[in-house]
Chain A
Amino acid sequence: ELKVEQNPLFLSMQEGKNYTIYCNYSTTSDRLYWYRQDPGKSLESLFVLLSNGAVKQEGRLMASLDTKARLSTLHITAAVHDLSATYFCAVNLNFGNEKLTFGTGTRLTIIP
């Protein structure tokens, strides 16, 4: 059974600092998704990573995928308050469908 683990679960950081969220998964896959969720809101797609070594950047967020290590990272550069949210990674394992197995989420709070 595919397991997806994120760490840390909770993260408080000061504005302007850099930090990384880690996503580990238990079974080989080369399709990994990152989502953002504000409290009680929908899941907003951030990145779709489709191959080993894939790196994508959008603003202060950068995501990477190492399929050999079964690890994805979401790096936050010079954090700002607007980035406060819960971040989820999700892995797709199965050919023929796009069922996502989600991690537990990382609740990020940016402190001014």
Chain B
Amino acid sequence: DSGVTQTPKHLITATGQRVTLRCSPRSGDLSVYWYQQSLDQGLQFLIQYYNGEERAKGNILERFSAQQFPDLHSELNLSSLELGDSALYFCASSDGTGANSGNTIYFGEGSWLTVV
């Protein structure tokens, strides 16, 4: 158990709908990351937050958004869902200061999203 908690574990929804994935980082970790894993794209970095502020952005679609709250939990919002959004979405956390600290980055169990 990495200490990173994600909910829900599984989610089935229809095209055009909106879902929210939730992540609680390890106790004390200030950085939260979101990754998408799919068969065709592999593991893709979406976005990083550090202590409530967006720190880095990757291949995140405009239909997707994220935020990190004062208690450090994070949510990833996926809207106008398409079949191709079906994937395993991982949240990860580290206590990285953002200064190239080289800390281990711990991944949660993931949220399986199926769009039908």
Q: Do A and B come from one complex?
A: yes
Task: List the interface of chain A (C-beta within 8 A of B).
Answer: 31, 33, 35, 40-45, 48, 50, 88, 90, 92, 94-102, 104-105
Interface positions of B from 1 to 48, Cβ below 8 Å from A: 2, 31, 33, 35, 42-45, 48
Interface centre among A40, A50, A100 (most CB of B within 10 A): A100
Are B107 and A99 in contact, CB atoms less than 8 angstroms apart?
Answer: no
Q: Which residue of A lies closest to B92 (CB)?
A: A43
Give which listed residue, B42, B103, B110, contacts A98 with CB less than 8 A: B103
Give which listed residue, B48, B88, B90, B112, contacts A99 with CB less than 8 A: B48
Q: How far is the CA of A52 from the CA of B9 in the complex (A)?
A: 39
Task: Determine if B116 is an interface residue (Cβ-Cβ < 8 Å).
Answer: no
Give which listed residue, A45, A104, A105, contacts B105 with CB less than 8 A: A45
Interface positions of B from 69 to 113, Cβ below 8 Å from A: 88, 90, 92, 94, 96, 98-110, 112
Are B100 and A99 in contact, CB atoms less than 8 angstroms apart?
Answer: no
Q: Which residue of A lies closest to B6 (CB)?
A: A42
**Can you offer 16 A-B residue contacts whose CB atoms are under 8 A?**
A31-B102, A33-B105, A41-B110, A42-B2, A42-B109, A43-B92, A44-B107, A88-B43, A94-B56, A97-B48, A97-B50, A99-B48, A100-B35, A100-B105, A102-B43, A105-B42
Q: B108 to nearest A CB, angstroms?
A: 6
Q: B25 to nearest A CB, angstroms?
A: 13
Are A100 and B45 in contact, CB atoms less than 8 angstroms apart?
Answer: yes
Chain A hits for B44, CB < 8 A: 102
Chain B hits for A48, CB < 8 A: 102-104
Interface centre among A33, A96, A98, A99 (most CB of B within 10 A): A98
Are A98 and B107 in contact, CB atoms less than 8 angstroms apart?
Answer: no
